[in-house]
């Protein structure tokens, strides 16, 4: 309960008009990857960044620090996770596909 109280009292303040955001130069919202790798098996989506890095290294036999996106999907193929290295740390994007029962399909 204490964690919830602390989290609910924090407020994010947007930068004032005309003032640059301090983190704008350091953090990029996305990268322009040279490669995109799709992991063909389904992944338990309870897995975090560290476990997905191990999947990239051991099962895909790739370097997770390369300029690439690593795409994972769940068993139902209605959710995606995208892992990438952005030169400051690993980022993990999560996408739930549309409510119209759309599926991620690949050949």
Residue for token pair 């990857």: 33
> How far is residue 62's CA from residue 87's CA, in Å, rounded to a whole number?
17
* Beta strand residue intervals within the chain, DSSP E: 35-42, 68-73, 79-85, 90-96
Report the alpha-carbon distance of residue 59 to residue 53 in Å, rounded: 10
Prediction pTM value: 0.67
pLDDT tens-place values along the chain, 107 residues long: 333 333 333 344 444 455 555 544 554 556 688 899 999 999 999 989 999 999 999 999 999 999 999 999 998 888 999 999 988 899 999 988 876 666 666 53
Place of tokens 């790739």: 62
């Amino acid at each position: 309960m204490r964690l919830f109280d602390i989290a609910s009292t924090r407020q994010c303040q947007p930068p004032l008009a005309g003032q640059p955001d301090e983190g704008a130069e350091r953090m990029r919202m996305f990268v322009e990857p040279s490669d995109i790798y799709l992991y063909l098996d389904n992944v338990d989506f309870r897995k975090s960044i560290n476990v997905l890095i191990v999947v990239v290294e051991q099962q895909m036999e790739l370097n997770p620090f390369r300029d690439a996106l690593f795409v994972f999907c769940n068993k139902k193929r209605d959710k995606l996770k995208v892992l990438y290295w952005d030169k400051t740390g690993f980022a993990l994007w999560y996408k739930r596909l549309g409510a119209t029962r759309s599926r991620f399909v690949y050949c």
